[in-house]
Structure 1
Amino acid sequence: MKGVMIQGTASDVGKSLIATALCRLFANEGFKTAPFKSQNMSNNSYVTMDGLEIGRAQGLQAEAAKTEASVWMNPILLKPRSDQLSEVVLLGKAVETLSGKGYRDRFYNLGLSVLRQSLDHLGRAYDVLIMEGAGSPVEINLKDRELVNMKVAEMADVPVFLVADIDRGGVFASIIGTLALLTESERQRVQGLIINKFRGDFDLFADGISWLEEKTNISVLGVLPYINDHMIDGEDSLSIQQYRNKKMSGDIDIAVIELPYASNINDIEPFFYEEDVALRFVRTADEFGRPDAVILPGTKSTIHDFISLKEKGLDKRIRAFVQNGGFIVGICGGYQMMGQTLVDDNGVDTGMVGKKERGLGLIDAVTFFQKEKQTIRSQGTYHPQTGLPKERIVGYEIHLGRTDFLQQNKRPFFLFDSNREEGYYGENGKIIGTYLHHLFYNDDWRTTWLNAIRASKQLPIREKVNIGSLKDEHYEQLANTVRNHLDWEKVKNIVLTWENHHEDD
């Protein structure tokens, strides 16, 4: 099998970004390329064409590799539901919810079997595999039963590139320490070092490269710059902090309610490319301010997060905002919160059988949580009752809940191709709820919604921004930036000839 695994000295050093760039670079060289991450822990997920759920990072990496995403690219996905429990998604389907200890004790051998099956499938279907590790490969307390770093690199028999983040400091110690904690055979697998997130004059790090290569006897394959506005969605909750750090300014103030177990927060990403839009993450009533619109995002734990929202006094602020004619959109869990009641008869959302919670009461609906998760690629158009033009809408749904309306109170937002009505569209579009993730990536819809807000503020109407074209341009820009700062020929040589050199050893 030809490929490479990108491992890091810690979490958030840039493994996903570098893997994405390599997917596009190898694809551009004419290799049939696939991403692979054996086990992901993230509430940002992606639905494949056959309605199965994987980590969003691997979905985007598949796009970068110019191929269709499949469950083989991320066979195990862990979705945190609390500080102690995670839902286990195996080959695209939720199987059970386990604690960390329960997962390690009960799941390890099954996990190994599924990983072998996945690697075998991808190895037969693709020329090159760009694999991604998680966290650090030398977490001593986890190393004996890990399913995501060196164990998997050994199973696939691929070389490893070790990435370190110089922006956070301690780059030399992190590299030397990581290598020192690897076994000799593991260390032999590390065939290159990559320094990431460098700011300033690259010549100032020349001595650092020489020192690292002398001390480790491993080539530094490149020093990558700190890349801003790369438009590659964050993999996990760290992305919320990255969003919060963006210095946004604009005439339209959108408040995104920050939920403890927010999922698919990338739904708001397109707004960063609208020049007159400012996004704020709001955690408390004091931060609410006077927004022009509110977005209630998805969550992996709807009732838990809604109780948290109420404890902070945000429910009262949101109700008052809507009563005063404000624009609000709830997506997935946020949509569920907008109803009258949340009913967890089976304990699938809270772990408490029969748990009920009153919602925001903005729409006359009740949500019932179900044991069977819905994962659907959806497409269609606006429902005729909305009065909106007949434009195509695409997205995906990932939810445990079923939201029911009394017939006389139904105001569907969408009519999907299966003739299924979905969502809520009220007050001429000021109150919207839907299970459809990726809603705002639909350029025509996003522009229609923003122009309604602009009109209400007597701001100029704007033309649509084409996010799809921008996204592919950003994949190319990212790939070119990474290539320009790597020894690309050496990278290719290591990836494509490792099998032969390894066999000679």
Structure 2
Amino acid sequence: MKGIMVLGTASDVGKSLIATAICRAYANEGVRVAPFKSQNMSNNSYVTSDGKEIGRAQGIQAEAARTEATVWMNPILLKPRSDQNAEVVLFGKAVNTLSGKAYRDIFYEKGLKAISSAFENLEDEYEMIVMEGAGSPVEINLKDRELVNMKVAEIADVPAVLVADIDRGGVFASIIGTLELMTPEEKLRVKGLIINKFRGDLSLFEEGIKWLESRTGIPVLGVLPFLENHMIDGEDSLSIPASTYKAGLDIAVIKPPYISNFSDVEPFYLEHDVSVRWVSSPGEIGEPDAIILPGTKSTIKDLQYFKKAGIGSWLRDYAANGGFIAGICGGYQMLGDKLIDPIGSDTGTAGSEEEGMGIIPAVTTFSKDKITVRIEGKLHQDIGTTLTVKGYEIHLGQTEIGCRQPFLLLNNGREEGFYGKNGRIIGTYLHHIFHNDEWRNLWLNSIRQAKGLPVQKPVYIGRLKDQKYDELADHLKEHLDWDRLKGISYNWRKSHELV
């Protein structure tokens, strides 16, 4: 197998972004390239065309590689449901919920088989596999049964590059410390270093490059400047974009502890007159023009958290006073009257029930089987427009509305969601609803008009995304020795074929 493993000195150093850039750079050269991450831990997921669930980063990387995302690109996805437990998604389907210890004890051998099976399928179709590690490859307490870093590079027999984030400080210690904690065999696989998120005058770091190369014997392939507004969806909660402050509309996003699919909110960052603020308590909310309540992996637990914090009562008052609220997936469920968990699929405790926020007349009943499907449809004709929308559903349970006020009419004929108070209260299971540019513009313009601001034309971010992949690849090739990076993979394969 010809490939490269992108390792990092820690989480959120830019592994996913760099792997995405490598995928597009290879694709632009006509190489059949695929992304791969053996084990993802993220509640930000992606639904494949056949209705399977993988980590969002690999879905995005597949788009950059100009290929269709499949479960072979991310065979294992762990979705945290609490501080102790995570749902295990194997080849796109949820199979169990396990504690960290139970996962290590009982899943390791099954995980190794899954990784080998995924490689066999990818190798049949692709010329190059761009692999991504997770966190740090030298977590000593976990290394003996890890399924995502050096063990995967060993199974695939590929070389690695190590990425470090200079923006957070301590770049020399993080690189040297990581390499020192590797075994001699592991360190031999690391054939290049990449310094990411650099700000300032690069000439001031030239001595640092020389020192690193002298100290480690490993070439620095490049120093990548900090990249703003790259539009590449983040993987986990560490990647949630910072709050922004602009003149115009103020949107407050209420952040649940176990937030999922926060990429639902990212299009608003590209609107020139929209501020996006992440808030967790009534004292932080202020007086927003609209509220978004995003998805969560633990709906009832996060609902209880919000109610205890006083957010539930705040939202009821806000809704009663004519505020704009949009709830997506778990956020939609929380806005209802009641949530029922008869078999414990949401809480882990059978028979659990919780009063909702009472803003939407709805009852949600959680079930055993998760729905994962791509969806297309139109805004319901009763709304007065029939804009086409698309997205995907990932949720447990069904929501029954106590009145007929549907938001969407899906292509399969099903009515979906809730549209109340002339669009001031919206609930939907459709993730990426706001990635539909004309619908997002319609919703924002209704808020602008209510505030006395002029309406705006749509911002077509969908058209910008593919352009951004190319810009990302160009950014990589401008600041990194691209030919040398390609040579690392080629020379490794060539030398090992001769052994």
The answer to whether TM tops 0.5 is yes
Output aligned runs, 1:191-340, within 5 Å.
191-240=191-240, 242-244=241-243, 247-340=244-337
Structure 1 CA distance, aligned partners of 2:5 and 2:463?
29
What runs of 5+ residues in structure 1 fail to find an aligned partner? none
Structure 2 CA distance, aligned partners of 1:25 and 1:454?
40
Q: CA RMSD in A?
A: 1.0
Q: Once the two structures are superposed, what CA deviation does each residue of 1:59-112 show, in whole Å capped at 9, x if it has no partner?
A: 101111111111100010000000000000000000010000000001000000
Partner of 1:68: 68
Structure 2 CA distance, aligned partners of 1:120 and 1:203?
45
Structure 1 CA distance, aligned partners of 2:318 and 2:487?
59
Partner of 1:42: 42
Structure 2 CA distance, aligned partners of 1:111 and 1:372?
22
Q: Would you identify which runs of 4 or more consecutive aligned residues in structure 1 move more than 4 Å?
A: none
Aligned to 1:362, which of 359, 363, 374?
359
Structure 2 CA distance, aligned partners of 1:67 and 1:386?
36
Compute the displacement of 1:493 (Å): 1.2
Q: Once the two structures are superposed, what CA deviation does each residue of 1:346-377 show, in whole Å capped at 9, x if it has no partner?
A: 11111111111111111111000011000010
Structure 1 CA distance, aligned partners of 2:42 and 2:104?
17
Q: Identify the range of structure 1 (57-66 vs 162-171) with the bigger mean alpha-carbon deviation.
A: 162-171
Question: Any conservation in 2 of the 1:161–1:191 contact (CA below 8 Å)?
Answer: yes
- 1:450 equivalent in alignment to 2:444: yes
Query: Given residue 399 of structure 1, which amino acid in structure 2 is its aligned partner?
Result: H
Output aligned runs, 1:21-40, within 5 Å.
21-40=21-40
Partner of 1:5: 5
Structure 2 CA distance, aligned partners of 1:439 and 1:483?
34
Partner of 1:501: 495
- 1:110 equivalent in alignment to 2:110: yes
Secondary structure at the aligned position of 1:334 is classed as helix
Question: Any conservation in 1 of the 2:401–2:418 contact (CA below 8 Å)?
Answer: no
Secondary structure at the aligned position of 2:40 is classed as strand
Q: Once the two structures are superposed, what CA deviation does each residue of 1:107-164 show, in whole Å capped at 9, x if it has no partner?
A: 0000000100001100111111110000111111100100000100011111100111
Compute the displacement of 1:184 (Å): 1.4
Q: Once the two structures are superposed, what CA deviation does each residue of 1:158-198 show, in whole Å capped at 9, x if it has no partner?
A: 11001111111211121111111111111111111111111
Compute the displacement of 1:239 (Å): 2.2
What runs of 5+ residues in structure 2 fail to find an aligned partner? none
Structure 2 CA distance, aligned partners of 1:167 and 1:329?
35
Q: Identify the range of structure 1 (70-79 vs 476-485) with the bigger mean alpha-carbon deviation.
A: 476-485
- 1:433 equivalent in alignment to 2:430: no
Query: Given residue 18 of structure 1, which amino acid in structure 2 is its aligned partner?
Result: I
Structure 1 CA distance, aligned partners of 2:204 and 2:242?
30
Aligned to 1:397, which of 368, 393, 396?
393
Structure 2 CA distance, aligned partners of 1:349 and 1:453?
34
Compute the displacement of 1:279 (Å): 1.0
Secondary structure at the aligned position of 1:243 is classed as coil
Structure 2 CA distance, aligned partners of 1:250 and 1:482?
33
Compute the displacement of 1:248 (Å): 2.2
Partner of 1:86: 86
Query: Given residue 421 of structure 1, which amino acid in structure 2 is its aligned partner?
Result: E
Aligned residue pair count: 499
- 1:477 equivalent in alignment to 2:476: no
Compute the displacement of 1:234 (Å): 1.2
Query: Given residue 335 of structure 1, which amino acid in structure 2 is its aligned partner?
Result: Y
Partner of 1:101: 101
Structure 2 CA distance, aligned partners of 1:296 and 1:142?
35
Output aligned runs, 1:172-191, within 5 Å.
172-191=172-191
